[in-house]
Amino acid sequence: KREFKVEAEVGAPQVSYRETIRETVNQEYKYAKQSGGRGAFGHVYLTIKPGEAGTGFVFHNEIKGGTVPKEYIPAVEKGCRESMANGVLAGYPMEDMDITLYDGSYHDVDSNEMAFKLAASMGFKEGCRKAKPAILEPLMKVEVEVPEDYMGDVIGDLNRRRGQVNNMGDRAGNKIVDAYVPLAEMFGYSTDLRSATQGRATYSMEFHHYEEVPKNVSEEIIKKRNG
């Protein structure tokens, strides 16, 4: 701030949360607009379900008999894909969604790509709200090397941080503790570990996977994001 004469805001480090759904729903959405001149019409039936972990976004076109003309299918896919950028709970990006377009209808004059994109986007959001949406948080793989005398304190502290201890072992006269811990609970860890072990423990951490947050944490995140 002093050096560059700019105002700097130093906030708490940000956690990259994600959103997903836990149930499968079928969702119909009709977008119809008539405002003098040419209207807009798009009508879709979507199956919205949780995808396999790590798949991101998968789209299936199961339209039979041209109920949605094939030139509008990419617009439906795009409407769903773009809607994943902001989840329905707290606006975080969505993960692992499996979408099937299985029916719909169109209007000879009023249908266009934008109308189908909007129908898909709004149908996707509405369906997600009914499909048990959930917030996911990054879990870190944490390895702590600690003298045996301090091991109990270290494990107790990891548990307080909502950590899951997976494994314990030995290395060069010290104990090794392996755990998965939410990134949100790891801020300030090095200072706390140093004072709890008189500086005799070391740790490393790396991202491992996303996992659903507990209900109370989810409510807090939503409240914070939505004011």
Tens digits of per-residue pLDDT, 119-150?
999 999 999 999 999 999 999 999 999 999 99
The predicted pLDDT at position 11 comes to 59
Catalogue all structural domains in the chain, each as residue range(s) with its CATH number.
23-131 (3.30.230.10), 135-226 (3.30.70.240)
State the DSSP code for 187: T
Question: Do 137 and 182 contact (CB within 8 A), yes or no?
Answer: yes
Give this prediction's pTM: 0.84
196, 151, 197: which is closest to 178 by C-alpha? Answer: 151
The predicted pLDDT at position 7 comes to 56
Q: Are strands 97-105 and 57-61 parallel, antiparallel or unpaired?
A: parallel
Instruction: For residue 164, give the H/E element and its range.
Output: strand 164-171
> How far apart are alpha carbons 77 and 94 in whole angstroms?
15
Q: Are strands 164-171 and 97-105 parallel, antiparallel or unpaired?
A: unpaired
Structure tokens at 97: 């969604």
The predicted pLDDT at position 53 comes to 83
Question: Do 17 and 136 contact (CB within 8 A), yes or no?
Answer: yes
Quick count: other Cβ atoms within 10 Å of Cβ 17?
23
CB-based burial of residue 79 (10 Å sphere; 0-12 exposed, 13-18 middle, 19+ buried)? buried
The predicted pLDDT at position 9 comes to 52
Low-confidence spans in the chain with pLDDT less than 50: 1-2
